[in-house]
Structure 1
Amino acid sequence: MILLTGATGFVGRAILKNLIKNMRFSVRTFGRSLPFSEPDLTQHVYGNLDADADYTGALLGSDVVIHCAAMAHVHKDSTDKKSEFNRVNCAATIKLAKQAVEQGVKRFIFISSIGVNGGHNQQRAFRFDDISQPWDEYTQSKYAAELGLQQLAKETGLEVVIIRPPLVYGANAPGNFGKLVQAVKAGKWLPLGAIHNQRSFVALDNLVDLIITCVTHPHATNQTFLVSDDQDVSTTQLLEKMSRAVGKSPRLLPVPMSWLRLAGKLTGKQAVIDRLCGNLQVDISHTKTILGWQPPISLEEGIKRCFIEDKEGC
């Protein structure tokens, strides 16, 4: 039995669909609402992710936990973002893991963030064994959870698997990637035609495949895995590929990055511009070596699926 948290989210929903198709696994979900309109597809336990929650009923009979649920955003007017993130992303995670041990769970797969490594890189790609440099309250809470899980593994023998993805994309992706998809589909001109950075991304299908691999792989125990499509591109190249995938000519204005950064400062969008213009590369050689794993689809195929699946209403 696999317990999956966060099954109503972008990544969790895709994991659940994969698990349901894979007849080797039975699955139970935990969360505030049903992940699908058809409750017969899976067992579900209602509850909130919180440090004071009791997860016993959800964990009963489970062998593996895939923990996707997290707090990604807090209200912009919050006076203590660090405390809010830690309450859900760290304290609640450790509480879930401790109760998992009590219920005889063997393996705990934690979906963390590449932001634990840092916000950007310059000299070389991030590696799994780099010194962690979480750069904001969210990634700090993820790193605190990682440390807590690793300590619990030492004390109890729980098999902990940590996965740190970069930006995850796919059909109906949330956030800035979803906005770029809509802009490309609408044929809008974008001032992003002269960005010479390098970034790693991971297609939703590739991330899900790695997570499912880690459910049973004997060498995944107590490992930290970075994941990507293993194909880095600039923001400009990404948008060119997106345009071709939807059958349109790229509409990109070659605005210098220095101008974009200035515009970001003036409009309060500096963080967005930094992500569009900065470097964030991921070295997944450790993941491939330890697990014998390769991303099953290419970046080009992943981008194509963003548009094809959206047209099909998936």
Structure 2
Amino acid sequence: MRILVTGANGFVGRQLTALLVEQGHRVTAAVRREGAALPAGIGEIRAIGDIGPDTDWNRVLDGIDAVIHLAARVHVMRETAPDSLARFRRVNVLGTQHLARAAAQAGAGHFVYLSSVKVHGETSPEGAPFTEAMAPAPEDAYGISKWEAEQALAKIAAETGLGVTVFRPPLVYGPGVRANFERLVEAVRRGIPLPFGAVQNRRSLVYVGNLADAVATSLSRAEAIGQTFLVSDGPAVSTAELIRSIAEALQCKPRLASIPPALLKLTGALTGKEAEIGRLLGDLAVNDALLRNRLGWRPPYSLREGLAATVLKTPWPERLGGMHRI
């Protein structure tokens, strides 16, 4: 297939384009600026500038069979811009809508959109992982913009016949991951005591290689058209279990203290880190049975393998050392 991937030089995009090239597809990479670092074997690289309602896609979409839209204004911690929702909407809603209409007009048959679990909210009900059937309840500007983009795509699909598939991943990790996950890995690596030994929450994660594989699988399956999928590595884990697994990958001992979660929440409130502590203590679990049952998909990498690649910063999929597909 001839596939256009937007955000091809991003965290997910680099892994996905490498996999698509490995599978024999011809990939056109849409990037913001010239000179982007990309895997070998990319058919074409097109710098398209900022994504929005005025982006010129005419020279990029000619002959394209499928579009995978990864580029977005991403979630920003401690967002302070007074017009943050308008900024998210310009890129994530209007930009996505404009690209989808251009793709339909150019004759592309399939549009795969990378949304977010934040469409469902910030925490899942205790003992009840999110499913695709649950009503969306986004709480921040990023989540709202992703949900509005999904709705816009559904409307375009109904009007044009464009086949749309949506993925809502939870936290994505892998080599090169940044932000809180990177800080957590470094804390374990340095032997910093962490107060989460008593935390028994449930949180889902997805290794970037597994997410890339799920997206690539959807391209060849008619059953994916018109579907929205949650995706994960498998059973959710507690923050304490995750720390122990990271320590195992680093071949070191985790330093976990069992502090009551109520005390941790109080500490977060007093130190201005209530949101960060809340994410480490709360549930955010997903049930991806729909993806597994409808497409017969199984994650090719286990949590253990994904964490090993992450902490060793092993490029995927070229070199995975002793790891193997499961």
Into which bin does the TM-score normalised by the smaller protein fall?
over 0.9
- In the alignment, structure 1 segments of 5+ residues that lack a partner are none
Match in the other structure for 1:232: 236
Distance 1:38 1:128 in 2: 33
- 1:93 aligned to 91, 96, 120, which one? 96
- 2:63 aligned to 58, 61, 64, which one? 61
CA contact (8 A) 1:169 1:201 kept: yes
Residue identity in the other structure for 2:274: Q
Distance 2:69 2:311 in 1: 28
Residue identity in the other structure for 2:130: F
Match in the other structure for 1:113: 116
Distance 1:10 1:227 in 2: 17
SS in 2 for 1:108: strand
Root-mean-square deviation (CA), in Å? 1.9
Match in the other structure for 2:170: 166
Distance 1:39 1:117 in 2: 36
2:183 pairs with 1:179 = yes
Distance 1:82 1:90 in 2: 10
2:281 pairs with 1:277 = yes
Distance 1:76 1:213 in 2: 34
Distance 2:53 2:129 in 1: 35
**How far apart are 1:93 and its partner, in Å?**
0.3
**How far apart are 1:82 and its partner, in Å?**
0.8
Distance 2:315 2:164 in 1: 38
- Greater alpha carbon shift after TM alignment, 162-171 vs 113-122: 113-122
- Report the CA distance shift for 1:311/1:99 in structure 2 as closer, same or farther (over 3 A): closer
Distance 1:157 1:27 in 2: 23
Aligned residue-pair number: 313
- Report the CA distance shift for 1:166/1:73 in structure 2 as closer, same or farther (over 3 A): closer
1:34-64 CA-to-partner distances (Å, cap 9, x unmatched) read 4426787431111221111111111111110
- In the alignment, structure 2 segments of 5+ residues that lack a partner are 320-326
2:13 pairs with 1:12 = yes
TM value normalised by structure 1: 0.95
SS in 2 for 1:88: helix
Distance 1:37 1:286 in 2: 32
1:7-50 CA-to-partner distances (Å, cap 9, x unmatched) read 12111111111122222x00001122344267874311112211
- Report the CA distance shift for 1:35/1:53 in structure 2 as closer, same or farther (over 3 A): same
CA contact (8 A) 1:198 1:235 kept: yes
CA contact (8 A) 1:243 1:249 kept: yes
Residue identity in the other structure for 2:15: A
1:193-238 CA-to-partner distances (Å, cap 9, x unmatched) read 2211011111111111100001111110010000001121100010
Match in the other structure for 1:291: 295
SS in 1 for 2:313: helix
1:52-99 CA-to-partner distances (Å, cap 9, x unmatched) read 111111111111000000101468441111111111011100000000
Distance 2:57 2:263 in 1: 50
What percent of counterpart residues are identical? 39
TM value normalised by structure 2: 0.91
CA contact (8 A) 1:201 1:229 kept: yes
SS in 2 for 1:30: strand
- 2:144 aligned to 140, 143, 159, which one? 140
- Greater alpha carbon shift after TM alignment, 144-153 vs 180-189: 180-189
SS in 2 for 1:238: helix
1:260-286 CA-to-partner distances (Å, cap 9, x unmatched) read 111221222211111100001111111
Distance 1:159 1:215 in 2: 10
